[in-house]
């Protein structure tokens, strides 16, 4: 896997993935940025949420669960000292659907956390405390 990050100006960078997708990262105005995109650490957090969500949704679909929506809310804490690494990250999955089995949702979240989500497992290996929870929102049949 490869990526290229190019300095645009100030504290703004354009990143391009190996597959040709681009995203702008920028800093806050008080650090010389123009707020044109997420901060690099926000990108790490969003990537982790995307990785875990992909796992959870894939497993629920394979389990033939009638999923209509899946939102991962991530809440992270960072160290006060430099480097301001993540110290804690909590992922809360809000799964919406019809006749969802709690055991299947719980299993999908657990397997993502313990076996499949490379991003969250890598964060844990680096010393970040990563926790998970879920909420099921039942839609009318």
Q: How far apart are CA 62 and CA 99, in angstroms?
A: 15
Give the per-residue pLDDT at 65. Answer: 98
Domains and CATH numbers, the chain: 1-38 (2.20.25), 40-138 (3.30.300.20)
Q: Are 66 and 101 in contact (CB under 8 A)?
A: no
How far is it, in rounded angstroms, from Cα 26 to Cα 37?
Answer: 5
* Pair 113, 128: CB distance under 8 Å: no
Percent of the chain with pLDDT over 90: 98
Average pLDDT over residues 83-93: 97
DSSP labels, 36-73: -S--HHHHHHHHHHHHHHHHHHHHHHHTT-EEEEEEEE
71 token code pair: 């939102």
- What sign does the dihedral 1-121-73-71 (CA atoms) show? positive
Q: What is the mean pLDDT of residues 117-135?
A: 97
Q: What is the pLDDT of residues 15-74, one digit of tens each?
A: 999 999 999 999 999 999 999 999 999 999 999 999 999 999 999 999 999 999 999 999
From residue 15, give the alpha-carbon distance in Å to each of 22, 30, 115, 128, 141.
Answer: 5, 22, 29, 25, 43
pTM of the model: 0.92
């Amino acid at each position: 896997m490869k990526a290229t990050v190019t300095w645009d100006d100030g504290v703004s960078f354009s990143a391009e993935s190996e597959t040709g997708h681009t995203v702008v990262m920028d800093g806050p105005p008080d650090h010389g940025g123009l707020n044109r995109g997420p901060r690099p650490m926000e990108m790490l957090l969003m990537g982790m949420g995307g990785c875990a969500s992909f796992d959870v949704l894939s497993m629920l679909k394979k389990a033939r669960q009638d999923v209509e929506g899946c939102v991962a809310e991530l809440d992270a804490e960072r160290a006060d000292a430099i480097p301001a690494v993540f110290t804690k990250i909590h992922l809360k999955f809000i799964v919406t659907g019809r006749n969802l089995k709690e055991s299947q949702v719980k299993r999908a979240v657990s397997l993502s956390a313990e076996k499949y989500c490379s991003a969250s497992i890598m964060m844990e290996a680096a010393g970040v405390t990563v926790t998970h929870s879920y909420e099921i929102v039942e839609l009318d049949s």
